[in-house]
């Protein structure tokens, strides 16, 4: 019994039957299920091993569906929606009373996103309703960015996977909560904070990178089994025989086993999870990662690296 690729028709059939199906999005692969079906939602938590207190993002086709889930949508969010939907921006809004506690985690808010991936959009259109779709990895592990990653994670379960190729962005959505004049960034992600500042007329508040703001999210997350340490470029030279190094841009001359990611945040984010997964299978004792700049545009990557490096 192992995970298997299915086509769009089969994916729709399974979702209608209340199953969870792994699906491509522009950020990472998601584990999708009917957002109005409690037993389907429970399948997401059971399959991932996700704590029930961790709320789910509802994926909708467009802003016409917003008020099916949100009790109100602030007018100030219009520019954000115009510019970022469909796309990797999740909005946390006051929830309608009938939204399942499995979706909200018991809070009075609901997180909403309108994905841009063409195959996911086609799936949403054919399915007809909304889908919850947290990242398809086992809870706490590195998010999958290809169908092969999902197939590898569920090699002993009959999970259906819709293959849409490699994810274009490779990092999760940015989660924001409008609050009067304020826009709180709850999770840095694929939409840079700089872009939010252009689109929001009030104040954009960004958490210090050490803060965990989203409910239910464990500090250690996005983490390979191999121990990860984030160090300066000069400290990469301390890499031992059994270690492997991830650097930015060009490799330092003295490191033997080294992998490079682009020295800019978009390309870096796109390649990071696939590289972490590949190296995690390599049997190394440590993964030494060159620290990324303290600049705001690196914040989402910095957040993921910091969490990957937390000890269990
Ligand atoms: P993911 O596993 O990437 O889908 O993560 C979804 C994230 O969205 C979780 O970390 C949740 O904490 C966050 N989230 C979902 N719903 C809400 C909500 N109502 N309020 C605040 N954060 C939320
Ligand atoms: Mg996740």
pLDDT one-digit tens code per residue, 198-217: 999 999 999 775 554 555 56
Protein residue with least CA distance to atom 5, ligand 1: 134
Q: Which of 187, 221, 223, 304 is the best mutation target for the ligand 1 pocket, counting ligand atoms within 8 Å of the beta carbon and taking the most?
A: 187
Q: For residues 265 and 189, give the distance between their C-alpha atoms in angstroms, rounded to a whole number.
A: 11
For residue 27, the ligand 1 atom closest to its alpha carbon is 3
pLDDT of residue 218: 65
Average pLDDT of the chain is 94
Distance 198 CA to ligand 2 centre (A): 27
Distance 133 CA to ligand 1 centre (A): 10
Q: Which of 28, 31, 55, 92 is the best mutation target for the ligand 1 pocket, counting ligand atoms within 8 Å of the beta carbon and taking the most?
A: 55
| Window from 36-45, 119-128, 210-219, 248-257 with minimum mean pLDDT | 210-219
pLDDT one-digit tens code per residue, 148-188: 999 999 999 999 999 999 999 999 999 999 999 999 999 99
pLDDT at residue 118 greater than cutoff 70: yes
What does each C-alpha distance from 11 to 21, 32, 120, 147, 168 come to in angstroms? 7, 10, 11, 14, 21
What does each C-alpha distance from 238 to 18, 93, 147, 225, 256 come to in angstroms? 51, 47, 35, 21, 11
For residue 50, the ligand 1 atom closest to its alpha carbon is 2
pLDDT of residue 276: 98
pLDDT one-digit tens code per residue, 215-274: 556 677 888 999 999 999 999 988 888 999 999 999 887 767 999 999 999 999 999 999
Which pLDDT band, with edges at 50, 70 and 90, does 311 fall under? confident
Protein residue with least CA distance to atom 1, ligand 1: 134
pLDDT of residue 303: 95
Q: Which of 33, 59, 92 is the best mutation target for the ligand 1 pocket, counting ligand atoms within 8 Å of the beta carbon and taking the most?
A: 92
Q: Would you say 37 and 100 are in contact if contact means Cβ atoms under 8 Å apart? A: no
Task: Label residues 300-310 b or e (16+ Cβ within 10 Å = b).
Answer: bbbbbbbbbbe
Residue 78 per-residue DSSP state: H
**Cα 251 off chain centre by:** 28
What H or E segment, with its residue span, contains residue 120? helix 118-127
CATH numbers and ranges of domains, the chain: 4-205 (3.90.870.10), 227-309 (no CATH)
Lining ligand 1 with CB less than 6 A are 54-55, 57, 92, 104, 107, 109-111, 134-135, 172, 175, 186, 214-217
Q: Would you say 219 and 310 are in contact if contact means Cβ atoms under 8 Å apart? A: yes
pLDDT one-digit tens code per residue, 285-296: 999 999 999 999
Distance 138 CA to ligand 2 centre (A): 9
């Amino acid at each position: 019994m192992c995970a298997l690729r299915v086509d769009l028709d089969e994916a729709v059939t399974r979702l209608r039957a209340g199953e969870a199906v792994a699906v491509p999005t522009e950020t990472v692969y998601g584990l999708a299920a009917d957002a109005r079906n409690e037993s389907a939602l429970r399948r997401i938590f059971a399959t991932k091993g996700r704590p029930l207190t961790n709320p789910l993002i509802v994926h909708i086709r467009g802003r016409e569906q917003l008020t099916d889930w949100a009790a109100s949508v602030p007018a100030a969010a219009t520019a954000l929606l115009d510019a970022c939907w469909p796309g990797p921006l999740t909005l946390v809004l006051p929830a309608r009373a009938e939204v399942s506690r499995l979706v909200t985690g018991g809070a009075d808010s609901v997180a909403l996103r309108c994905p841009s991936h063409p195959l996911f959009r086609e799936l949403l259109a054919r399915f007809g309703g909304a889908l919850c779709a947290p990242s398809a990895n086992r809870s706490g592990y590195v998010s999958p960015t290809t169908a092969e990653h999902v197939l590898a994670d569920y090699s002993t379960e009959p999970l259906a996977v819709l293959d849409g190729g490699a994810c274009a962005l490779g990092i999760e959505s940015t989660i924001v909560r409008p609050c009067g004049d304020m826009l709180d960034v709850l999770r840095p992600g694929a939409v840079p904070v700089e872009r939010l500042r252009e689109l929001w007329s009030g104040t954009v508040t960004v958490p210090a990178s050490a803060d965990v703001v989203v409910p239910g999210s464990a500090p250690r997350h996005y983490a390979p089994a191999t121990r990860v340490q984030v160090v300066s470029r000069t400290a990469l030279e301390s890499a031992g025989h059994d270690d492997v190094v991830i650097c930015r841009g060009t490799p330092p001359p003295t490191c033997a086993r080294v992998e490079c990611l682009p020295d800019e945040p978009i390309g870096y984010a796109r390649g990071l999870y696939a590289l972490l997964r590949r190296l995690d299978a390599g049997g190394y004792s440590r993964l030494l990662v060159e620290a990324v700049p303290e600049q705001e545009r690196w914040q989402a990557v910095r957040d993921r690296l910091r969490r990957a490096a937390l000890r269990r």
